[in-house]
């Protein structure tokens, strides 16, 4: 068995010493340049994928923000109309204390104020609505 063990150990030691042989500076330089180029390419591709993913996410967030702002404008319009309706009812009730032409003038003023408040609410809402 010793006869076979020695040649096997000799071949194994030669094989192992051959694996750790230093390369020439030119070969090392080429390998380093190749590795750097590959690393740069991987980083560039990763950055491009990240930018694309972030752009898609930003578009989704931007769409949601626009939707939110438009919903807020619509709800603000509804509140403004409710206030105008309430103010009109109060003004018309107050007009009941007057009689004749004064009562009609009061009603006309209440109606004019109501129409102006509705127009203002509509203009404000239209200005607040955002387009894509």
Structure tokens at 46: 């990763």
Q: What is the pLDDT of residue 48?
A: 93
Q: pLDDT tens digits for the chain (132 residues)? A: 556 666 676 666 655 555 567 788 888 888 888 999 999 999 999 999 999 999 888 888 988 998 999 999 999 999 999 999 999 999 999 999 999 999 999 999 999 999 999 999 999 999 988 765
What is the torsional sign of CA 123, 124, 127, 130?
negative
Please indicate, yes or no, whether the overall pTM of this predicted structure exceeds 0.75. no
**How far out from the chain centre does Cα 72 lie?**
18
> How many other C-beta atoms lie within 10 A of the C-beta of residue 66?
14
Place of tokens 């020695």: 6
Q: What is the pLDDT of residue 81?
A: 96
């Amino acid at each position: 068995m010793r006869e076979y063990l020695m040649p096997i150990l000799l071949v194994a030691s030669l094989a192992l010493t051959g694996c750790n042989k230093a390369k020439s500076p030119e070969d090392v330089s080429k390998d380093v340049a190749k590795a750097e180029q590959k690393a740069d390419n991987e980083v560039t591709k990763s950055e491009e994928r990240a930018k694309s993913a972030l752009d898609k996410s930003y578009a989704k967030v931007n769409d949601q923000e626009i939707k939110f702002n438009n919903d807020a404008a619509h709800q603000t319009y509804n509140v403004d109309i409710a206030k105008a309706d309430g103010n009109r009812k109060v003004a018309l009730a107050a007009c009941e204390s007057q009689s004749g032409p004064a009562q009609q003038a009061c009603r006309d003023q209440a109606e004019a104020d109501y129409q102006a408040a509705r127009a203002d609410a509509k203009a404000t809402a239209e200005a607040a609505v955002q387009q894509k």
